[in-house]
Amino acid sequence: MLVRVKSAANAPNAYQTRQRAVAAMATGIDGVPIHVAYTAEEHHTRAHAHTLLAPVWEQYAALPVRAAAQALDLPPDQIPQLAQVTGRLQVLTGFRYASVAGTVGGAEFFGALARRVFPSTQFIRWSGNSEYTPEPDVLHEIGGHANVLAHPQLASLHVLAGQASVAAPALLTQIAAVFWYSVEFGVVHSSAGWKAYGAGLLSSPGELGWFTQHAEIRPLDIADMLDTPYDISSFQPVLFGADSLDHVVDIVGGYFTSLIHHAPITSSY
Catalytic residues: 140, 145, 184, 203
Q: What is the DSSP letter of 219?
A: E
Q: What is the DSSP letter of 143?
A: I
- Would you mind telling me the total number of residues written for the chain in this entry? 269
- Identity at 192, one-letter amino acid code: A
| Beta-sheet strands, E only, within the chain | 3-4, 96-99, 103-104, 117-120, 187-190, 193-196, 216-219, 238-242
b (16+ CB within 10 A) / e for 66-97: bebbeebebeeeebbbbebbbebbeebbebbb
Q: What is the DSSP letter of 191?
A: T
> Burial of 46 by CB count in 10 Å (0-12 exposed, 13-18 middle, 19+ buried)?
buried
Angle (CA) 120 97 236, round 5°: 40
Q: For residue 92, which of 116, 64, 68 has the smallest C-alpha distance? A: 68
Q: Which run of H or of E encompasses 132?
A: none
